[in-house]
Amino acid sequence: MPNANTHMLVGAGVSMTAALLDENKHSVSHHIAIAPAVGALMGKLPDILEPAFHPNHRQFFHGVTVLTMLTTGVVKAYRWSPEESSEKFIRGLMLIAGVAYLSHLICDASTPKGLPLLGKL
């Protein structure tokens, strides 16, 4: 079962990979030090929002609904071609933060407990 360290490591790794592979990397959010730091934090965010004090902690922010909405958002951010530097920063942040959060949900989905469809808010 993934723990906090695993989620942070995977989040940092996927964020760094996304930053390196992004063809539109013209933002400070793609920096080699910033991407993994943001990824580590966002890889742990679902457990910050819904602390893992017991096995049934997975609710809304660990749900398939959030996974679906976030995947849609990451795809839209990837396809976005902003012109202004502030928009490029936001796009980059959306990508690296989004894939890190998604990595947490994917890791949790691979456990026997899985993810709830919706969960409680």
**Entry field: residues in the chain:** 121
CB 7 within 8 A of CB 109: no
Predicted local confidence at residue 113, as pLDDT: 86
Chain position carrying tokens 């990508």: 95
| pLDDT over 80 at 25, yes or no | no
- pTM, entire model: 0.92
Averaged confidence pLDDT in the chain: 90
* Cα separations in angstroms, 93 against 57, 60, 74, 75, 80: 27, 23, 10, 13, 13
Please state, in angstroms and rounded to a whole number, the distance separating the CA atoms of residues 99 and 103: 6
pLDDT digits (tens, 9 = 90+) for 26-45: 778 888 889 999 999 999 99
Average pLDDT over residues 65-71: 96
Predicted local confidence at residue 40, as pLDDT: 97
Chain position carrying tokens 């989040």: 11
